[in-house]
A and B are shown apart, each in its own frame.
Chain A
Amino acid sequence: MTTRLRLLGAMSVMALLFGACSGGGATTAPSVAPSVAAPSVAATEAPSEAPASQAAAPVTIEWWHISTSDPGKTVFQGIADAYMAAHPNVKINITILENEAFKTKLTTSMQSGQVPDLFQSWGGGIMAAQADAGMLKDITADVASWKDTINPGALSIYAYKGVQYGIPWDMGMIGVWYNKALFTKAGITAPPATWDDFLADVSKLKAANIVPLAIAGKDMWPSMHIWTYLALRSGGGDAMAKMVQSGDWNTDACKAAGDQVVKLNALDPYQPGYKAATYDNEAAAVGNGKAAMEVMGQWAPAVQAADSTSKTGLGSDLGWFPFPTVSGGAGAPTDGVGGGNGIAVGKNASPEALDFLKFFNSVENATKINAANIGLSPVIGTESAITDPNLQAVLAGRGAATFMQLYLDQATSPAMGTAINEATIALFDGASTPDKVCQAITDAAATQ
């Protein structure tokens, strides 16, 4: 009995010790594990390196996207099918991945030198890192003939150091989504145009026992956009661009943004439990009519509807207004914070892949994206396909933009993005000061 127990003990200890080892080691396994890329990626290299100009030569295009659900999934497949029907020698292999799985798989695949020909991208810092690693194709010359069909602000998000690496298919602007019925109930007649009006309206909503504003402390980035807008409104586009480029955030604009957040905090405007809330909690609060406003991008109505108890969201009660101006600030009311989705081009992409990209961004196909509410296409001439008045307002804001700042956590490197999110959420949680936020972001930039 005792011998068996002892043996058992010894064995379990060894197993645990090994288990502990593998626990520590396994975390790095994805980075060294043999490539998990689909074998078909390797197969594309041969055709793409061969002279592909002959129409008859069979070509395979690998395309990874993240539209896991309809309507996006079907529309994308339809566009690919139409192209293959017109070009019988081209085969488009679509791999659909969930957002987080996509990021992991793409990184792992790139580490082994395999890059899909076309893949989902948000531009900004991650795309810059991919370009620096030589994973992307310089498509500046290839798109020169048709790039004027695309909104230039949206196009510039997929350029890095003057080189074009991808094409946008969705571009929107962050603004304030609000519940018209709750505004009326609180006695607010028109959306606020200035930050002071905004704060006054917050007080009115509080007085009417309505939660004025929903944010998401766990996910951090929703309130970061409020802070970004305040910095942009205070300092203007040039000051914002300078902070992002130089990494020096100890500026008047940065501190002014923090001061305005402190004023907002003083009104206790957020939903109960906001410190642990996820973005879905936030969207549910607005979609269920429990909170009057959220500062969010063009996807907000869809997510509010999906996360609401009724599954329909606020319907016609939902309204949108551009982020208010800050009195005395240098920023124009038409400056925006925005972003969207695009397609980056891998280093081994064939001319056919680029031709398909052009086809994908044709007015005809881009209109399908708008008509199905998958995104807001930046292709000029597709605007009429947007019928929802709120999305039309977003579109008008995007069209009138005098300066467009890509979401700060995507414009910078991922580590910088995390630093900005963590510094700003501490301010909204009341655990930091405006000065500390600017210093923390500056410190993070210095270690990049």
Chain B
Amino acid sequence: MSATSARPRVGRRLPTKWVTIALFLLPALALYLVFVLFPVVQAAHYSLFKWNGLQPLTDFIGLKNYQVALASDTFITAVSNNLLIIVLSLGVQIPFSLSLAVLLNRRFPGRAVFRLIFFLPYVLSEAITGVVFSLLLQPGALVDSSLNGVGLGGLVQDWLGDSTVVMITLFVIISWKYFGFHMILLMAGLQGIPHEIEEAALMDGAGRWQAFRYITLPLLGPTLRVSVFLSMIGALQLFDMVWVMTGGGPLNASTTMAISMFKAGFKNTQMGYGSALAVILFAFGLVLALAYQRLVLRRDVDGAVTAFG
């Protein structure tokens, strides 16, 4: 209020305005500094030490933890598993969600019921999903007996125990859990597109596919790009469900960066090494987020965030 009230002396307006802004930002800023930036800096600091979390920080080893991480087969597997989930999410999960969103955007009886059913898995916690699927995937349990029942017994696998199958199993479950979320997001985007435009295109002689490809898809762009971004960040942070179902096994075949980090820090009490893994994961997230924002999201957020960079 004071900033906008008519005061004769112009010189005082600017500082007052900034003081007000600073005061309003202070609580959030303080929380952000204490709980986000400070731990990040702390982790970077710890990552330069060999430290078990109990003794004083004295054993400075420079970048050795990073060297060990980048030379570790387990961590390389973790990184490639994260990347695999990103690629599969973008290649399979998002297109699937998109086609369902387009389908459920049409008017037909029972549409609300389908929307509800498809969205339901997203409401479950990851840990509960993990426990439920662990039970379903037990040898001879529901999944196996269903496949046997419909004569597809040949497809039965050691779903979580075979190191060549486990990542695909996990991906299917992750997709089952999250496709509904992306579907709802994309449906909201579709509803923001005026019907008249598609109608006009159809009147002008465009086919259904052409209308979708050249009208709907470009107009859905901003939503789709956010959906892709969410999916990538989620895949990068993958932890809960995998931890519950396989613990990163068998033989580290389904480990992820977050699992490697948790195991190093809290199971093996290698806090220094775990911090190094945390910093690497953070760097992945940051680079991905910034690059995506600069290169892909720029058109959506032009004049907002990118103005600072």
Contact = CB atoms under 8 A, between A and B. Distances in A.
Nearest to A106: B54
A103 B307 CA distance: 47
Given A20-B289, A29-B39, A218 B250 contact: yes
The CB with the most chain B CB atoms within 10 A, among A6, A13, A415, is that of A13
B230 interface: yes
A252 B158 CA distance: 34
B53 interface: yes
A9 B300 contact: yes
A276 B46 contact: no
A86 interface: no
B293 interface: yes
B147 to A, nearest CB: 15
Interface in A230-287: 272-277, 281
Interface in A93-112: 103-104, 107, 110-111
Given A32-B39, A275-B162, A104 B266 contact: yes
Interface stretch (B16-24, B111-119, B269-277): B269-277
B55 interface: yes
B252 interface: yes
Interface in B267-295: 267-271, 274-275, 278-279, 281-282, 285-286, 288-290, 293
Given A6-B304, A273-B139, A275-B161, A29 B35 contact: yes
Nearest to A28: B43
A23 B139 CA distance: 35
Interface stretch (B3-11, B80-88, B203-211, B256-264): B256-264
A414 B305 CA distance: 45
Given A10-B305, A13-B301, A272-B140, A130 B54 contact: yes
Given A24-B281, A276-B250, A129 B36 contact: no
A400 interface: no
B244 to A, nearest CB: 10
Nearest to A130: B54
Contacts of B268: 413-415, 417-418
Interface in A272-313: 272-277, 281
Interface string A6-45: 1101101110111111111111110110000000000000
Given A5-B192, A431-B163, A110 B54 contact: yes
B233 interface: yes
B300 A19 contact: no
Contacts of A275: 158, 160-162, 249-250
Given A25-B40, A25-B282, A31-B271, A431 B251 contact: yes
Contacts of B55: 129, 132-133
Contact of B53 (A31, A217, A277, A426): A31
B140 to A, nearest CB: 7
A103 B290 CA distance: 37
B226 A13 contact: yes
B297 interface: yes
A65 to B, nearest CB: 20
A273 B251 contact: no
Contacts of A219: 247
Contacts of B281: 23-24, 27
Contact of A32 (B38, B137, B300): B38
Contacts of B288: 20
B222 interface: yes
B52 interface: yes
Nearest to A217: B250
B54 A10 contact: no
B300 A6 contact: yes
Contacts of B32: 18
A1 interface: yes
B42 interface: yes
Interface in A188-240: 217-220
The CB with the most chain B CB atoms within 10 A, among A32, A129, A135, is that of A32
The CB with the most chain A CB atoms within 10 A, among B137, B140, B251, is that of B251
B89 interface: no
B278 A10 contact: no
A337 to B, nearest CB: 21
A20 B233 contact: yes
Interface of B: 32, 35-40, 42-43, 46, 52-55, 68, 137-140, 158-163, 166, 192, 222, 225-226, 229-230, 233, 236-237, 246-247, 249-252, 258, 261-271, 274-275, 278-279, 281-282, 285-286, 288-290, 293, 297, 300-302, 304-305
Interface of A: 1, 5-7, 9-10, 12-14, 16-29, 31-32, 103-104, 107, 110-111, 126, 129-130, 132-133, 135, 217-220, 272-277, 281, 413-415, 417-418, 422, 425-426, 429, 431, 447
Given A22-B36, A27-B261, 8 more contacts: A5-B300, A13-B226, A13-B293, A16-B233, A273-B160, A276-B158, A418-B268, A426-B251
Which 6 A-B pairs have CB atoms at the shortest separation, nearest pair first? Answer: A24-B282, A275-B161, A273-B139, A276-B161, A133-B54, A10-B304
5 contacts: A13-B229, A21-B40, A28-B275, A31-B265, A277-B161
